[in-house]
Amino acid sequence: MSAVYSLIIVLALVLVAVVGAGGGGLHALFGVVIPYVAFVVFLAGFIYRVINWAKSPVPFRIPTTAGQQESLKWIKQNKLDNPSTTWGVIGRMVLEILFFRSLFRNTKMQLKVNGGPSLSYGSSKFLWVGAIVFHYCFFIILLRHGRFFTDPVPGCIEWLDKLDSILQIGVPNIYITEFLIVGALLYLFLRRVCDSKLRYISLPADYFPLFLIMAIVITGILMRYFIRTDIVAAKDLIMGLVTLHPKVPETLGTIFYVHVFLVSILMAYFPWSKLMHAGGIFLSPTRNLANNNRMKRHINPWNYPVKLHTYEEWEDEFRDVLKEAGIPVEKE
Amino acid sequence: MSKLPKPKDLASSINYTPPREHWMDIKPEFRPGTYSYPAKPQLVEKMGFPNPHEWSPTDEDWHLPENWQEIVYNTFRDRLEKYRSLKVFMDICVRCGACADKCHYFIGSGDPKNMPVLRAELLRSIYRKDFTTFGKILGRFGGARKLTEDVIKEWFYYFYQCTECRRCSLFCPYGIDTAEITMMGREILHELGISINWVMEPIYNCFHVGNHIGIPPHTFKDIVDFMCDDIEEITGIRIEVPLNKKGAEVLFVTPSGDYFADPGTYTFMGYLMLFHEIGLDYTMSTYAAEGGNFGLFNSFEAMKRLNAKIYAEAKRLGVKWILGGECGHMWRVIHQYMDTMNGPADFLEVPRSPITGTVFHNAKSTKMVHICEFTADLIKHGAIKLDPSRNDDLIVTHHDSCNPSRAMGLLEEPRYILKHVCNHFYEMPEQTIREQTFCCGSGAGLNNDEFMEMRMRGGLPRANAVKYVHDKYGVNTLTCICAIDRAALPTLMDYWVPGVRVAGIHELVANALVMKGEKERETNLRGEPLPGKEG
Ligand code: SF4
Ligand code: SF4
């Protein structure tokens, strides 16, 4: 049900753009106003969220250690999975953020009951592959779009573009990332609906971004291969936005506005959703702290005194039995 | 207490298919064997904790304080402001499900709310409703729900079905630590006067008497004397154990489980024999006679109140540094909380082994060393003589306790020791040891009899891995470095893998330890004939 609702919402959003920009011809609204607003919401929202997190202190140093600690000199420490220095932490975070280290550990549990229970844990890298492919494709596609936002287009973007379309099948060249991201999105969606556990925990908010991004990718693909779009005009419009001299070319079709509208929705939605994991991972105290707890005191800004049962109070209560047992006391 | 189902029946009752109804529509069923008894209000009151009152999980009315909603809201907000972990973890879960089948309670029960992600959603759904705009507007559609008394009951049920083992946090791509969420959930419940007796009574005892069990100082001395008698019988050596001795070099602190019941007592005897053999100038304290800290399982404040005694006593006795015994959650508190809460320990010195001269730089601020670090160093320097063949009847595997593994990284030290004190050692499968270790199923205050069914369920993954090496290599001994393990694992083994005993590392150390002037040993610490001395 969650999936259906989310799909309906995304379709409704498409319809809004089709009607508004296509039928209604509100090109300035869909091409200029909404993208601007969405971008501001994205930026401000993202910063707000991160600052809001950062406002809460980290009272304790609680890294989840995933390997041998630093202890005796002759015991080999696992410096990346259990770092005790800042450089180690940076290494750990790089592994987490660029290579999804923790997800790479994933296993799949299986229980066989006949003849007494037997549990096994197979390595399970599908989710890791799906996540890596999705995130890297998304990132490359985003960078590739840099050619609409820059003039002249920097060499590295041109180069990335070439690399992405290295499989020259037909004209225009086909981007590898476009196919991969569709595949990854399909996988991420299918595992959510096929695995009963995942289906049970999934919220509409888990399907919505999948459908939304899928719709963005599809409109992108449509524009490139099926519904000819005036690329020069598109760049004109975008450069207008970038240089703060917005203009609305006449030659852009509805599909372009739908694409831009969906991207705008994604931007505006981002800071208020689980997509903020992109920012949150940097602040996760189980990952971004060094396991040097016993070496360096961590300060808790709100540490407060508590009621204690002091030795004196305790001795007062037990003095007689202490003396009788021959255990030394402070006051005879 | 409830009747525990047979292992076979329990195993075949595990079903991983979630129910048809939405989880928000399902109320927990307080079935005997699956929940712990409430804290006695007198104890809550004597500790000065909020809202002591009579209540029972199976009652319709839990007699929550009148303004309970306000209390929940305020406590929740306060913790969000105090803990970045909570705030970030509330916001960034993507429900990828990577953590789902990592929790031993889910594996053993199939209850979807024991998936860490859903355990966290129990709290998150209220967070969305009370603290986010989207949640307020969208309601259930946005994963939010209204705070009702049923929610409180559900929190109680599931936050006391989590052992705060952090296995989920290892696998989460963002490090979301459901233990942290459980701790916050328990803090909120604590403010309502809702907690369990198996946690509250140890807290009370530890605070007033000096240890969880409530053993008064003179009885403590009797127990130690009794053990020294046993040691004398086995080795022919009379050991003196200094108590509350001022000016000793080292204060030794260990969980009370070690001197309370078998098989922990053998580990305790092991410490005493080792200290005697190396001539360590140490003392134990009958005021700070507890290394463990059940406060951790209740609230920050309780944890701090109990833990403060250790530094206070170290200061009073004028020791140079502190040595800590084998315990799991104790080391979570000491490693990750003590210095921050009750430090700085600037009245102590950087720990240095008086035997080998090794300086423990890794403990230079906290000034507290783990006994496995200490003993591994002794062995490395050849400072003790060992005869591992005395443990030849033991075919050993090692259980990594959750906290030393995932909140510290103490993995090699115990293995190094084991390799020198016994000749037959086999590892359990890779996904069940070291940082991926499975909980005993009884941590975080859940080691009580009334919770037995869930303990056996939660302990299934651990037990099953033991069974694997038991069947394959004939393993008959499960070592561990945790007092809760030593109390909980024997029951678990008897249930799932009969024929496997549980021992602390230092029990094996002491068996192998060749002491100066000892008589020829006939038995091990348990009074069983040594290999080759039978009959
Ligand atoms: S692994 Fe982390 S992000 Fe994924 S569902 Fe579990 S808690 Fe959420
Ligand atoms: S901390 Fe341990 S018991 Fe709690 S949810 Fe995570 S895996 Fe389960």
B92 and A276: CB-CB below 8 Å? yes
Does B366 contact A274 at a Cβ distance shorter than 8 Å?
A: no
DSSP B340-398: HHH---TTS---B-TTT--B-GGGTTT-EEEHHHHHHHHHHTT-S-B-GGGGTT--EEE
The C-alpha atoms of residue A95 and residue B89 are separated, in whole angstroms, by 20
Sort out which chain A residues have CB atoms less than 8 A from B417's CB and list them.
none
Sign of CA dihedral B76, B77, B80, B82: negative
**Judging by beta carbons within 10 Å of its beta carbon (0-12, 13-18, 19+), is residue B103 exposed, middle or buried?**
buried
Task: State the SS3 of B18-36.
Answer: CCCCCHHHCCCCCCCCCCC
- pLDDT-derived band of residue B112, with 50, 70 and 90 as boundaries? very high
Contacts of B407 in chain A (CB under 8 A): 62-65
Q: Does the residue A315 lie in any domain?
A: yes
Any idea which ligand is nearest the CA of A64? 2
DSSP B116-166: HHHHHHHHHHHHHHHH-HHHHHHGGGGT-----HHHHHHHHHHHTS-----
pLDDT of residue A171: 66
- Out of B94, B118, B182, mutate this one to test ligand 1's pocket (max ligand atoms within 8 Å of CB): namely B94
* pLDDT tens profile B173-192: 999 999 999 999 999 999 99
Do residues A249 and A302 lie in contact, with contact meaning Cβ atoms separated by under 8 Å?
no
Tokens encoding B202: 């140890």
- pLDDT-derived band at B2, boundaries 50, 70, 90: low
* Alpha carbon nearest to ligand 2 atom 2, residue: B165
pLDDT tens, position by position, B390-400 = 999 999 999 99
Spatial separation of the C-alpha atoms in residues B284 and B241, rounded to whole Å: 8
3-state secondary structure of B284: strand
Q: Whose CA is nearest to atom 2 of ligand 1?
A: B172
Beta strands in B212-295 (DSSP E): 250-253, 282-284
Maximum Cα–Cα distance across chain A: 100
User: Is the C-beta atom of B175 inside 6 A of ligand 1?
Assistant: no
For chain A positions 172-191, those within 8 Å of chain B (CB to CB) are: none
DSSP-assigned letter for residue A229 = -
pLDDT digits (tens, 9 = 90+) for B243-259: 999 999 999 999 999 99
Nearest to B185 by CA among B66, B24, B63, B76: B76
Pocket test for ligand 2, best of B111, B115, B162 (most atoms within 8 A of CB): B162
Pocket flag, ligand 2, residue B165 (CB < 6 Å): yes
Residue A230 in domain = yes
A214, part of any domain: yes
List CB contacts of B360: < 8 A, sequence separation 6 or more: A71, B350, B351, B352, B353, B369, B373, B374
Q: Ligand 1, atom 3: nearest CA belongs to which residue?
A: B93
CB-based contacts of A32-38 (< 8 A; 24+ apart in sequence) = A32/A237, A32/A240, A32/A241, A32/A246, A32/A248, A34/A260, A34/A261, A34/A264, A35/A241, A35/A260, A35/A263, A35/A264, A36/A241, A36/A246, A37/A264, A37/A268, A38/A263, A38/A264, A38/A265, A38/A267, A38/A268
What is the domain count for chain A?
Answer: 1
> Among A65, A70, A131, whose Cβ lies nearest the Cβ of B362?
A70
End-to-end Cα separation, chain B, in angstroms: 42
How many whole angstroms separate alpha carbon B500 and alpha carbon B496?
A: 10
- C-beta of residue B490 within 8 angstroms of C-beta of residue B482: no
Question: pLDDT, tens digit, for every residue of B472-481?
Answer: 999 999 999 9
Selected residues 8-27 of chain B with any CB under 8 Å from a CB in chain A: 8, 11-12, 14, 16-18, 23
Q: Is the CB of A309 inside 8 Å of chain B's CB atoms? A: yes
Mean per-residue pLDDT, B16-23: 94
- What's the CATH code of the domain at A190? 1.20.950.20
Interval between CA B126 and ligand 1 midpoint (Å):
18
The reply to whether B137 touches chain A by the CB within 8 Å rule is no
Residue A329 resides in a domain: no
Digit-coded pLDDT (tens) for B424-437 = 999 999 999 999 99
Q: How many beta carbons lie within 10 A of that of residue A300, not counting itself?
A: 18
Domains contained in chain B, CATH given? 21-195 (1.10.1060), 203-512 (no CATH)
In a domain, A26, yes or no: yes
Dihedral through CA B428, CA B430, CA B431, CA B432, nearest 10? Answer: 30
Measure the CA–CA gap between A146 and A170, rounded to whole angstroms. Answer: 24
Indicate the residue of A113, A206, A317 with minimum beta-carbon distance to B12.
Answer: A113
CB contacts, 8 Å: A82 with chain B: 409
CA distance B44 to chain A (A): 14
Cα-based torsion angle of the residue sequence B258, B483, B374, B368 in order, rounded to the nearest 10 degrees: -100
Instruction: Tell me the whole-structure pTM to 2 decimals.
Output: 0.95
pLDDT at residue number B530:
94
Which residue stretches of chain A have pLDDT < 50?
A: none
Chain B window 433-452: which residues touch A at a Cβ cutoff of 8 Å? 434-436
Q: Which residues of A touch B295 (CB under 8 A)?
A: none
Q: Can you give the pLDDT at residue A289?
A: 97
Residue B98 Cβ inside 6 Å of ligand 1? The answer reads yes
> Is A72–B12 a contact, with Cβ atoms under 8 angstroms apart?
no
Cα B67 from Cα A72, distance rounded (Å): 53
Mean pLDDT of all residues in chain B? Answer: 96
Is any Cβ of chain B less than 8 angstroms from the Cβ of A81? Answer: yes
Sort out which chain B residues have CB atoms less than 8 A from A287's CB and list them: 174-175
Cβ neighbors of A300 (< 8 A, separation 6 or more) are A57, A59, A60, B340, B341
Say if strands B250-253 and B282-284 run parallel, antiparallel, or are unpaired. Answer: parallel
For residue B250, the SS3 value is strand
CA dist A291 to A121, B55, B292, B370, Å?
28, 41, 21, 15
A330 domain-assigned: no
Dihedral sign, Cα of residue B73, residue B76, residue B81, residue B87: negative
Count H helices and E strands in chain A, helices first: 15, 2
Is the minimum distance from the CB of B502 to ligand 1 under 6 angstroms? no
B111 interfaces chain A, CB cutoff of 8 Å: no
* pLDDT tens digits along A11-56: 999 999 999 988 888 889 999 999 999 999 999 999 999 999 999 9
Q: Using CA atoms, how far apart are residues B116 and B224, in angstroms rounded to an integer? A: 42
- Predicted local confidence at residue A170, as pLDDT: 66
**Does residue B92's CB lie within 6 angstroms of at least one atom of ligand 1?**
no
Tell me the two tokens of residue B97. Answer: 């499900």
Nearest to B175 by CA among B81, B98, B83: B98
Alpha-carbon span B177 to A102, nearest angstrom: 13
Opening angle at CA B366, ends B363 and B369, nearest 5: 50
Cβ of B100 below 6 Å from ligand 2: no
Q: What is the mean pLDDT of residues B66-70?
A: 96
Nearest beta carbon to residue B88 from set A284, A295, A317: A284
How many helices (H) does chain B have, and how many strands (E)?
Answer: 24, 7
3-state secondary structure of B504: strand
Of all residues in chain B, the one with the smallest CA distance to A329 is: B244
The whole domain housing A298 covers: 2-324
- The structure tokens listed for B16 are 């991983």
Q: If you measure CA to CA, which chain A residue comes closest to B8?
A: A116
A136 Cα: distance to centroid of ligand 2 (angstroms):
31
Alpha-helical runs (H) found in A18-125: 27-28, 34-55, 86-99, 101-104
Q: Does B146 touch chain A (CB under 8 A)?
A: no
Q: What is the pLDDT of residues B131-167, one digit of tens each?
A: 998 899 999 889 999 999 999 999 999 999 999 999 9
Question: What is the residue type of A217?
Answer: V
Structure tokens at B511: 């068996």
